[in-house]
Structure 1
């Protein structure tokens, strides 16, 4: 019976659990690609840092990159081709003012580009921290040059002062929506629309309480709306919870929204949002007692209908309460329903001072607080938010928090990973061979790698499968931004030290059919015609080619039989340790070793590792044929492949007699030749000594030191040149050094028959 328990755990880890107790401890990537220059193209320049702001300009064939003090225009197909660049440095005066306020001149008091948006006229809107004095400008790409225009604007409330503070922004029909801090200290958080008469949130902790802004997006809910609804801008963030009584400041994840047409109130909430509502965002990970915090969000809309949109979000634990990260997905329909039909929370005073937030059970004023101006409101004579009654405005001013939480799809995470901190996420909808589309997630980590994972559904059960983990940066460099270009088929990742362009698929990594099919990568299929794992394109799918792809099951039954491993012959010396290498087909595979037809089990003699078998103190009993098989199973389908085969025999260099062994004969001949050479050198040395004595180059008498008595009777005086030969103590220990120092101690150990034993490593 083969040991498949590990394999089963690795497979089930990504499947939908039946209950919270069934949650897996880990989800393992099928392949791990170590850090290598071939993993993608790297762009960085000397003394330039913070490659963390990007905007795709596919209309220009560019990706525009904002760093510390420099903006680059790079070829979108090859980021090593720099099309243009422009510097935006701080002035000496601005830098001095920044340092006077206690900030570091070399780090804080620089201009970090934080905002890059494409705007309607083809220009770009760009903002930088500008030595803790944020500024914004317009930028053109004309005649192969990036040009900053002389239209600088105050960036207060648009761009953060602090280059390392999280924020978010969105450009919506000529207007900038931003979520950041309005002051130098970062103590005045706002969600603002920058218009000639700006609209913003109120400075109340019930609105925003020490928020960490993450993501902002525009949803065109007015399109084909039967109720004449308005567009919305959604914001994802975390903040200190006001509704929990906890001994420590407890953070929670939130989603909030405002109406695009919101103009503020007439008397109440003047120039403030009348539509700002927020709800808690749940991502239940195992049995964690503390809420997980959102770190990044990506919106994917498979259809033209906004109700089909899904928000994918990555979460990490707070206060080091866990070492798991998770991905949760939220339906736009579910979020919309919470805000339009859910109940509100209201603060109540308990024991004169303590405030507790409970569900509001009274009657809601009309129109509904937080709602946009729609056909129903217009029928009541309310044409804009300026016409809203004070009762509605006072209610939403004091009660912006919904009682109901937004739950993820299927009330569970899509993916849970132990020991990895997720930082960013982007998602692509990929059409597979049969025409069905599947979401493929690219998840950045704190250790500079990207996880590629796909979600599949079969028999109403969901499964997320990590196809691979690719190391793009050194582990010390976290991924700070991800951008995806479907038109070019590339992923762009940025960190503090550089930017990497990685292909969305690297099907060439899979060298045989079963490996390609077991990868379950929607981008890849095995081409029986060419005998290669190839990237699946619409043209290839429609061509008259025999292609194999099986995403839900990973069924390899249609693949041709794989070649048998090449037999490797090895001879060994008794007593040596033999290491037989065998690479498994993937991280999800189990290695099984056989000697002849019998499977091997771990013992004092046989030690197993993930990629080898170690045979200790090999003897005659260990001769024979060893084979290594890689076994991998998915959805009940099991695949076996022979990865290595060895034949072990005794060598001719042992302690037994073998007169006809060529190596032994040549060794004896070499020893005789060496003895003859030593005799000749001794005769020459003696002749030289005699000649020097004859010429008087050495004094003839050589007395031993005074007080010493000669042992040996009549030995008397000894010539100086011979004194060391007679007066030196006889040493039998081995010399300290060895002319051949490339061997290990084991290799230099001499056995009783004069032969060295060696450890073989294959």
Structure 2
């Protein structure tokens, strides 16, 4: 394809970013890692409520509508700890008993999980819940700080899944609800359905949907400025068992499918079925040999010209032997080209009595199978899909699969990570100081982190990763408000609000520029890292996204010198941390570069002096060295001055053993009577440095030094283990079953609705968890995402009498 392909492989301990172009290989990591401790995070959760998995942003009303298990909330979009209103939609005891009688878990599965939240007009929403494996839908309004359920319940089969932990997707386009789910109790009958006055659905054929897992739906207005008089499309992303490959077991592949908005079904063939349903495989190849990765989430980055819109998709491996995840981008124009001009696959019988799928090379019927009604069809007298000839309909009924796969926009993955699996993604278009717009990806992980990454002219750069949950748990939902500048992350236990950027984390000019964050720039006049969109930022601002050029930054203030007393014969530990994950530490003693040797051991947490003597007295400087586009950026982060401890100046005093000296930031620890030396650690603000590893030695002197290091490490490890035990005893641990804690039957309400108006939760910014925190393992059911990116295209309704409901096919054989 001729594209410059960059792949970032980020594992926990040694993240690697490989560039597979011209044989080059480079290494990269998220530049900064921020643990869970920042005050700019907001957390909302309510006691006894779980599975905060459905979100609808109503920026026009200033609220985030949040669906959870048996609860719907209206939260302040600026601060989600402010609960403006809530309504509780619980199952009746009879429904719960009926569900349990069918073999489901009464306190987990037999509840009402809110799965659908879509706008109808300025005040009205359409909401559906699983209702103890008996899906049901209703209308809801928010106005004057009140959430009200209308109580006009409708059948939810085909619009909402039965199983609350089964992936599904839905979308509201105009007055029509598009849904991709399963329509039976057992979850064995998949369907892509449009609920409207002219409801249509997919065929119950494995060639259409073969044990699918639905992921995402969105609408593309392809009729806009269309020279062909084309129709709008609805695109669906999912995975399913492949039928086109000969494999010894079931092989799952990722797909994208589409249908035409004005599809009415056929007149005789495909009655009330899609005549435009076509699908193709998504290609997102990982760098190592593996089975095809599985799509987990998709986000549509819309453009005013729909042809330039891009789908960003997250993939994970389908085998347990690989821990890689990937992000691939797909152009709407490229997908459209495959569906409009590509070859089809067809099934043929072979001698081994099984079906094989090959490329169809015969003549295609006219009009083209799977195409929408356009100007060419209208010239043939076909005004709707009801006018299509049976030959065209029979072809697409038997051959909905395209032969060609959809290739990524860049020829391969934008980003590949190794370690915690990626789960969800949203993308924001950011206008930088250079006048260019950059797509910034926010990617959720299964251990509760959000990574922020951006592509600069083919170079993938991971700006930072932020831990948004104290206890590792999968992020099951991500939503982005570009206008408000916040990302909202949902999980089993709560919802977190995070700003798209926190420029104040970068404390110096060089740090701000090297972050290469399009949201931030260094304000020279105010001497701080500020948001680019802020009106307070001065005209003299520094930002270098492509190169990370810090030449315009003034030199930083010199760091203060820490005095350290040296006791001959002791081991001395001098802490120092690199300024970022991309930097390395370099140690200098009297302007001489130190490297690991039997005398000195340099490691990522600092410097260890072995068997110190009077010759080690002097100045030690630790520099954080970071490279950006071939330029070295050096920053001194720690300076120590070692001096002989008072009273110790002669050689005879070097023979004293077992003494402990503590003076001005020096901590010495003594082992036992058989330990010939002690380890001294200089006190420096910041986290405790990691324990040094033993250097390999070959000489007798090196072995003695190694023994001393081992003794020092053993002492430090014992102290660390003791501290860990004390912490665990004080903190306590408890685990939570999937779906939340067991609740007594006495608490099961009789009513179905309970309204709460203007009730404010006394939640604070990221409060401490209630006694312990749920430790919920990752599973196939916990990663649930129901994106509703439809737009409120309904005409304004004066009252509920105008809501006639969404058309439902009562005949189950016809759904």
TM above 0.5, one fold? Answer: yes
**2:609 & 2:256 partners in 1: Cα distance?**
59
**2:566 & 2:300 partners in 1: Cα distance?**
61
Residue aligning to 1:495: 491
Residue aligning to 2:231: 230
Shift of 1:583: 1.8
Q: Which runs of 5+ in 2 are unaligned?
A: 1-8, 654-660, 662-666, 684-815
C-alpha offsets along residues 217-269 of structure 1, whole Å, 9 cap, x if unaligned? 00000111111100000000110000011111100000000000001011111
Shift of 1:744: 9.2
Question: In the alignment, is residue 602 of structure 1 matched against residue 596 of structure 2?
Answer: yes
Deviates more, 1:593-602 or 1:510-519: 593-602
Given the superposition, is the C-alpha separation of residues 657 and 637 from structure 1 closer, same or farther in structure 2, using an over 3 Å criterion? closer
Residue aligning to 2:317: 317
Of the candidates 467, 472, 477, which is equivalent to residue 468 of structure 2? 472
Of the candidates 18, 35, 39, which is equivalent to residue 21 of structure 2? 18
The answer on whether the counterparts of 1:43 and 1:500 sit within 8 Å (CA) in structure 2 is: yes
C-alpha offsets along residues 425-445 of structure 1, whole Å, 9 cap, x if unaligned? 000000000110000000000
Residue aligning to 2:91: 90
Residue aligning to 1:363: 363
**1:621 & 1:217 partners in 2: Cα distance?**
70
Given the superposition, is the C-alpha separation of residues 98 and 601 from structure 1 closer, same or farther in structure 2, using an over 3 Å criterion? same
- For residues 530-541 of structure 1, what are the structure 2 equivalents within 5 Å? 530-537=526-533, 539=535
**2:539 & 2:347 partners in 1: Cα distance?**
66
TM-score (ref. length: structure 2): 0.78
The answer on whether the counterparts of 2:295 and 2:315 sit within 8 Å (CA) in structure 1 is: yes
Question: In the alignment, is residue 619 of structure 1 matched against residue 613 of structure 2?
Answer: yes
Residue aligning to 1:524: 520
The answer on whether the counterparts of 1:39 and 1:472 sit within 8 Å (CA) in structure 2 is: no
Deviates more, 1:279-288 or 1:433-442: 279-288
C-alpha offsets along residues 526-582 of structure 1, whole Å, 9 cap, x if unaligned? 0000000001116456xx521000000001111111222211111121222211111
Deviates more, 1:608-617 or 1:158-167: 608-617
**1:189 & 1:452 partners in 2: Cα distance?**
35
**1:225 & 1:122 partners in 2: Cα distance?**
33
**1:245 & 1:220 partners in 2: Cα distance?**
38
C-alpha offsets along residues 452-498 of structure 1, whole Å, 9 cap, x if unaligned? 001111xxxx0110000000013531100000011111110000001
Shift of 1:615: 1.4
Deviates more, 1:544-553 or 1:30-39: 30-39
Shift of 1:143: 2.1
Residue aligning to 1:452: 452
**2:371 & 2:272 partners in 1: Cα distance?**
17
Residue aligning to 2:631: 637
Residue aligning to 1:327: 327
Q: Which runs of 5+ in 1 are unaligned?
A: 1-5, 660-666, 668-742
- Provide the secondary structure at the position in 2 that maps to 1:80: coil
Residue aligning to 2:409: 409
Shift of 1:655: 8.8
The answer on whether the counterparts of 1:51 and 1:495 sit within 8 Å (CA) in structure 2 is: yes
Residue aligning to 2:375: 375
TM-score (ref. length: structure 1): 0.84
C-alpha offsets along residues 87-146 of structure 1, whole Å, 9 cap, x if unaligned? 000000100000001111111001011111112353111111111111111100122110
Deviates more, 1:312-321 or 1:252-261: 312-321
Shift of 1:635: 1.3
Given the superposition, is the C-alpha separation of residues 392 and 27 from structure 1 closer, same or farther in structure 2, using an over 3 Å criterion? farther
Residue aligning to 1:510: 506
The answer on whether the counterparts of 1:576 and 1:760 sit within 8 Å (CA) in structure 2 is: no
Residue aligning to 2:798: none
Shift of 1:178: 0.3
**2:318 & 2:55 partners in 1: Cα distance?**
28
The answer on whether the counterparts of 2:50 and 2:69 sit within 8 Å (CA) in structure 1 is: yes
Residue aligning to 2:670: 746
C-alpha offsets along residues 363-407 of structure 1, whole Å, 9 cap, x if unaligned? 000000000001110110011101100000000000000000000
**1:636 & 1:50 partners in 2: Cα distance?**
47
**1:751 & 1:403 partners in 2: Cα distance?**
73
- Provide the secondary structure at the position in 2 that maps to 1:558: coil
Question: In the alignment, is residue 575 of structure 1 matched against residue 576 of structure 2?
Answer: no
- Provide the secondary structure at the position in 1 that maps to 2:483: coil
The answer on whether the counterparts of 2:119 and 2:125 sit within 8 Å (CA) in structure 1 is: yes
Question: In the alignment, is residue 145 of structure 1 matched against residue 162 of structure 2?
Answer: no
Question: In the alignment, is residue 759 of structure 1 matched against residue 753 of structure 2?
Answer: no
- For residues 152-163 of structure 1, what are the structure 2 equivalents within 5 Å? 152-163=153-164
The answer on whether the counterparts of 1:120 and 1:173 sit within 8 Å (CA) in structure 2 is: no
The answer on whether the counterparts of 2:191 and 2:201 sit within 8 Å (CA) in structure 1 is: yes
Shift of 1:321: 3.9
Shift of 1:653: 5.4
The answer on whether the counterparts of 1:573 and 1:757 sit within 8 Å (CA) in structure 2 is: no
Question: In the alignment, is residue 393 of structure 1 matched against residue 393 of structure 2?
Answer: yes
Residue aligning to 2:222: 221
- Provide the secondary structure at the position in 1 that maps to 2:413: coil
Deviates more, 1:81-90 or 1:187-196: 187-196
C-alpha offsets along residues 320-376 of structure 1, whole Å, 9 cap, x if unaligned? 242111110001110000000000000011115111100000000000000000111
The answer on whether the counterparts of 1:524 and 1:549 sit within 8 Å (CA) in structure 2 is: yes
**1:166 & 1:356 partners in 2: Cα distance?**
29
Given the superposition, is the C-alpha separation of residues 332 and 317 from structure 1 closer, same or farther in structure 2, using an over 3 Å criterion? same
- For residues 38-437 of structure 1, what are the structure 2 equivalents within 5 Å? 38-301=39-302, 303-351=303-351, 353-437=353-437
Shift of 1:604: 2.7
- Provide the secondary structure at the position in 2 that maps to 1:613: strand
- Provide the secondary structure at the position in 2 that maps to 1:376: helix
**1:474 & 1:318 partners in 2: Cα distance?**
28
Residue aligning to 1:556: 550
The answer on whether the counterparts of 2:669 and 2:680 sit within 8 Å (CA) in structure 1 is: no
**1:292 & 1:23 partners in 2: Cα distance?**
23
Residue aligning to 1:704: none
Given the superposition, is the C-alpha separation of residues 278 and 22 from structure 1 closer, same or farther in structure 2, using an over 3 Å criterion? farther
The answer on whether the counterparts of 1:452 and 1:467 sit within 8 Å (CA) in structure 2 is: yes
**1:615 & 1:418 partners in 2: Cα distance?**
35
Shift of 1:649: 1.1
The answer on whether the counterparts of 1:227 and 1:375 sit within 8 Å (CA) in structure 2 is: yes
Moved beyond 4 Å, runs of 4+: 10-16, 21-24, 653-659, 747-752
The answer on whether the counterparts of 2:573 and 2:679 sit within 8 Å (CA) in structure 1 is: no
Structure (1 or 2) with the larger CA radius of gyration: 1
Residue aligning to 2:749: none
C-alpha offsets along residues 157-181 of structure 1, whole Å, 9 cap, x if unaligned? 1111111110001000011000000
C-alpha offsets along residues 659-680 of structure 1, whole Å, 9 cap, x if unaligned? 9xxxxxxx9xxxxxxxxxxxxx
C-alpha offsets along residues 256-298 of structure 1, whole Å, 9 cap, x if unaligned? 0000000101111111100000000000111323111110000
**1:759 & 1:304 partners in 2: Cα distance?**
63
RCO higher in structure (CA 8 A, sep ≥6) = 2
Shift of 1:605: 2.6
**2:28 & 2:111 partners in 1: Cα distance?**
41
CA RMSD of aligned residues (A): 2.3
